[in-house]
């Protein structure tokens, strides 16, 4: 049985939905590292402090219901806006930001029985993970899913704008110098363009039980 699972991939590929379901099935802890970059972005959007000072004394906590706390205050919803998505990608290019969050993420994974998703989990944060997944889907499909998700929440959204936002973030995340988004050599590639959520979950569970 695989004790540490790393899931990486571009924005909107379904990493968090799938990882949460796998965590539930296995009784594992789910760790959403994107939420941590989003919390840094949210704090920087409210503060006049330098990012280096923000990083020095920031407190980020994730609980077992995937709620996110910034300096002790719940920010689960506030970090999910398009502005914070873009800003999270912007702040994630700085080495000192990545260093701090990588340390926190490694600590969170110390006890094992975790599934962690992000961009650099298999390549940088947990290079010795027992199972690495690189989850992707076509840009059109990822944009369509995000569009439906936001529409269902009652937000007025534009499909082309979402597609552009995702494409820009993919470009930034995969072209940055430090720990860019890329598939680890030993990761299993899953293209979910034509798969249902439960099919992806089943594939990952099968890999977990395979030696």
List residues binding ligand DC (CB under 6 A): 11, 33-34, 37-38, 85, 88-89, 92, 118-121, 169, 173
Whether 126 and 16 have beta carbons less than 8 Å apart is answered as no
The least CB distance from residue 35 to ligand DC, in Å, is 6
The least CB distance from residue 169 to ligand DC, in Å, is 5
Cβ closest to ligand DC, residue 1 vs residue 74? 74
Chain centre distance of CA 55 = 19
Cβ closest to ligand DC, residue 84 vs residue 195? 84
SS3 assignment for the chain: CCCEEEEECCCCCCHHHHHHHHHHHHCCEEEEHHHHHHHHHHHHHHCCCCHHHHHHHCCEEECCCCCEEECCEECCCHHHCHHHHHHHHHHCCCHHHHHHHHHHHHHHHCCCCEEEEECCHHHHHCCCCCEEEEEECCHHHHHHHHHHHHHHCCCCCCHHHHHHHHHHHHHHHHHCCCCCCCCCCCCEEEECCCCCHHHHHHHHHHHHHCC
The least CB distance from residue 188 to ligand DC, in Å, is 18
The least CB distance from residue 124 to ligand DC, in Å, is 8
Cβ closest to ligand DC, residue 110 vs residue 211? 110
Cβ closest to ligand DC, residue 37 vs residue 209? 37
Q: How many residues does the chain have?
A: 211
Cβ closest to ligand DC, residue 11 vs residue 131? 11
The least CB distance from residue 37 to ligand DC, in Å, is 3
The least CB distance from residue 152 to ligand DC, in Å, is 18
Cβ closest to ligand DC, residue 141 vs residue 173? 173
């Amino acid at each position: 049985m695989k004790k540490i699972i790393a899931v990486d991939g571009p924005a909107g590929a379904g990493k968090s939905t799938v990882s949460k379901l796998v965590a539930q099935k296995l009784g594992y802890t789910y760790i959403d590292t994107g939420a941590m970059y989003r919390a840094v972005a949210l704090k920087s959007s409210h503060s006049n402090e330098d990012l280096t000072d923000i990083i020095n004394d920031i407190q980020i906590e994730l609980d077992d219901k995937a709620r996110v706390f910034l300096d002790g205050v719940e920010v689960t919803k506030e970090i999910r806006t398009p502005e914070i998505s873009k800003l999270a990608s912007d702040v994630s290019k700085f080495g000192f930001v990545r260093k701090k969050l990588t340390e926190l993420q490694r600590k969170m994974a110390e006890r094992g029985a975790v599934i962690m998703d992000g961009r650099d989990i298999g390549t940088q944060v947990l290079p010795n993970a027992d199972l690495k997944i690189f989850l992707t889907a076509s840009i059109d499909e990822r944009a369509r899913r995000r569009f439906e998700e936001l529409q269902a929440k009652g937000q007025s959204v534009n499909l082309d704008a979402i597609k552009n936002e995702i494409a820009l973030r993919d470009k930034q995340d995969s072209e940055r110098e430090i720990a860019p988004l890329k598939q680890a050599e030993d990761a299993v590639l899953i293209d979910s363009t034509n798969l249902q959520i439960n099919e992806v979950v089943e594939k990952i569970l099968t890999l977990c039980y395979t030696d």
